[in-house]
Amino acid sequence: MTVKKFNLPDVGEGLTEAEVVAWKVKPGDTVAINDVLCEIETAKSLVELPSPFAGTVTELLVEEGITVEVGTAIIAVSEGQEDANGTAPEAPAAEETFTPVYGKLTAEAGEQPAGGPLVGSGPKADAVKRRARKRPTGAVVEAAGVAENAEGAVQDNQAVLAAKAAETPVPQRPTAARPVVEPVQQASSAPAVQQPAATRGAAISGTISGLVNKVLAKPPVRKFARDLGIDLADVVATGQRGEVTREDLVSYQAQRDAEHDQADTFWGASRKPQDQRVERVPVKGVRKATAKAMVDSAFSAPHVSIFVDVDASRTMEFVKRLKVSRDFEGIKISPLLILAKAVIWAAARNPSVNATWVEDADGKGGAEIQIKHFMNLGIAAATPRGLMVPNIKDAQDLSLKELALALNELATKARAGKTQPAEMQGGTLTITNIGALGIDTGTPIINPGEVAIIAFGTIKQKPWVLDGEVIPRWITTLGGSFDHRVVDGDLSARFMADVAAILEEPALLLD
């Protein structure tokens, strides 16, 4: 019998340490290759660690909640067969330490890779596939309101999670594949045929248009949610087909009530000394990484911020038209989509905003400005685990519909805590949608490695002078922060004016 120890690996993001959040196995359990052993929390995401070998778990070497460095042994698994009496051979156990190879296929056909099998490459067993539901014709268009801009906020979406469960984890690479887009079937009497879980492309292309950003729930459940004032997109679904159930709503309401109760009892009793009324929260994981990144950016890049008020009334009208368009049926559309297109368009006219300042580029102390001829568009997402900035790779190549699908997928994965480290690397320019929280504007801190970030304020009706008359219009405020080492005042002003021009007249995107 051989006892193998599994070392905490670098999962592809330059990881130095991680916290063991939850073990999925216990001593005595039998595991196969690719069975999930545990969840770890890195600086930016939750990652499932699959087993690189088969055998029996003999010992968990690290307790839950403990942070360990890369290369530390975290679990021991024994390999070997028992004899006829059910006892293992008496040969002394030999210990081997194993660190898996992620994203490298070094084995010959039919053999395991030279340091062990390639883990994390199999399809998930709990894949769920559903056919898209048809929307009734003549759908009522919602009136544009303050909440329009909030639709750009990161939203939970159980339907997309179900469809994405069929995907195979993808090794890190410079660019991510674009979403597969196919026409939506408007009329079909035959039910959709389910496809094998392992066929990633077919599963996504057949369901993405109809499932993206649709929350499944029965009519009585929807009515119950309305009565409680609950947004179904905020509820974690536990139904067999990924739908929100009445029990899910009851559980969510109980959680909200508990939070309110906590607010009522937040203040400590004044009879206790003040030093006993201080809560100490360890800084780790996402919060630790965010703190370091923000300090590095704020004190290395000289920030300059400018603001512009924009009449976004035509953007609101355009969004309403897209919502009832057949081409965009089943896809969540918000003003954030138009802003994203505007930023891409404006960056092409002002390339230096899509760049990086590199210190000591030549190894002799000489700095360098690297202008990126591609757009990895970052979207700042406030999640329960903290701030994340996943980005859409090669966003400049996406059509309006493809960009909408990419934004929906990004938002869903971020809210579910499924964003992978590779999806947060290589960003070139970032948007932060503070308007989703009802905020007018702000001075955002530039994401490290970039030179510009745009804050998208809330859209609401305000008095506006148009052709000499004061009339109500849908107004928003854009705030931009720029690295003054790269972006001068003139360039930042021209870039912001170009972005504003698209929001004022989206038809300019047709040029």
pLDDT given for residue 96 in this prediction: 57
pLDDT in tens, 308-325: 999 999 999 999 999 999
Rounded to whole angstroms, the Cα distance separating 43 from 415 reads 16
- The residue-averaged pLDDT of 209-215 equals 51
Higher-scoring residue by pLDDT: 476, 363 = 476
Chain-wide mean pLDDT for the chain? 76
Confidence of residue 142 (pLDDT cuts 50, 70, 90): very low
pLDDT given for residue 197 in this prediction: 47
Q: For this structure, is 303 an active site residue?
A: no
pLDDT in tens, 251-266: 888 777 766 666 667 7
Confidence of residue 490 (pLDDT cuts 50, 70, 90): very high
The dihedral through the CA atoms of 426, 284, 36, 59 has a sign that is positive
- The residue-averaged pLDDT of 385-390 equals 82
Give the least confident one: 113-127, 263-277, 467-481. 113-127
Confidence of residue 478 (pLDDT cuts 50, 70, 90): very high
Higher-scoring residue by pLDDT: 363, 399 = 399
Higher-scoring residue by pLDDT: 106, 405 = 405
- The residue-averaged pLDDT of 40-50 equals 77
Residue 129 CA, chain-centre distance (Å), reads: 21
Rounded to whole angstroms, the Cα distance separating 444 from 498 reads 19
Q: Copy the structure tokens of residue 490.
A: 């003139």
pLDDT given for residue 244 in this prediction: 85
Rounded to whole angstroms, the Cα distance separating 226 from 140 reads 18
Higher-scoring residue by pLDDT: 80, 17 = 17
In sequence order, the β-bridge partners of residue 46 are: 41
pLDDT in tens, 447-469: 989 999 999 999 999 999 988 99
pLDDT given for residue 14 in this prediction: 63
**CB within 8 A of 284, min separation 6: which ones?**
19, 41, 67
pLDDT given for residue 184 in this prediction: 44
pLDDT in tens, 52-103: 888 999 999 998 888 888 889 999 999 865 444 444 444 444 555 555 544 4
Confidence of residue 352 (pLDDT cuts 50, 70, 90): very high
- The residue-averaged pLDDT of 431-459 equals 92
pLDDT given for residue 13 in this prediction: 55
pLDDT given for residue 491 in this prediction: 94
pLDDT given for residue 400 in this prediction: 95
pLDDT given for residue 115 in this prediction: 38
Higher-scoring residue by pLDDT: 476, 139 = 476
Higher-scoring residue by pLDDT: 79, 15 = 79
- The residue-averaged pLDDT of 112-124 equals 39
Whether residue 484 is predicted with pLDDT greater than 80 in this model: the reply is: yes
% of the chain at pLDDT higher than 90: 33
Q: Copy the structure tokens of residue 62.
A: 């690290």
Whether residue 38 is predicted with pLDDT greater than 80 in this model: the reply is: yes
pLDDT given for residue 476 in this prediction: 96
Q: What amino acid is encoded at 114 in this protein?
A: A
Instruction: Among 15-24, 100-109, 129-138, name the most confident range.
Output: 15-24
**CB within 8 A of 336, min separation 6: which ones?**
149, 151, 152, 379, 407, 431, 433, 456
Whether residue 269 is predicted with pLDDT greater than 60 in this model: the reply is: yes
Q: Copy the structure tokens of residue 158.
A: 């159980």
Q: Residues, the chain, total?
A: 511
pLDDT given for residue 181 in this prediction: 44
pLDDT given for residue 175 in this prediction: 45
70-101 in b/e form (b: 16+ CB < 10 A) is bebbbbbbbeeeeeeeeeeeeeeeeeeebbbb
pLDDT given for residue 372 in this prediction: 95
Confidence of residue 43 (pLDDT cuts 50, 70, 90): low
Instruction: Among 13-27, 231-245, 472-486, name the most confident range.
Output: 472-486
Instruction: Among 24-33, 46-55, 493-502, name the most confident range.
Output: 493-502
Q: Copy the structure tokens of residue 179.
A: 């979403």
**CB within 8 A of 132, min separation 6: which ones?**
184, 185, 192, 207, 209, 210, 211, 330
Higher-scoring residue by pLDDT: 416, 302 = 302
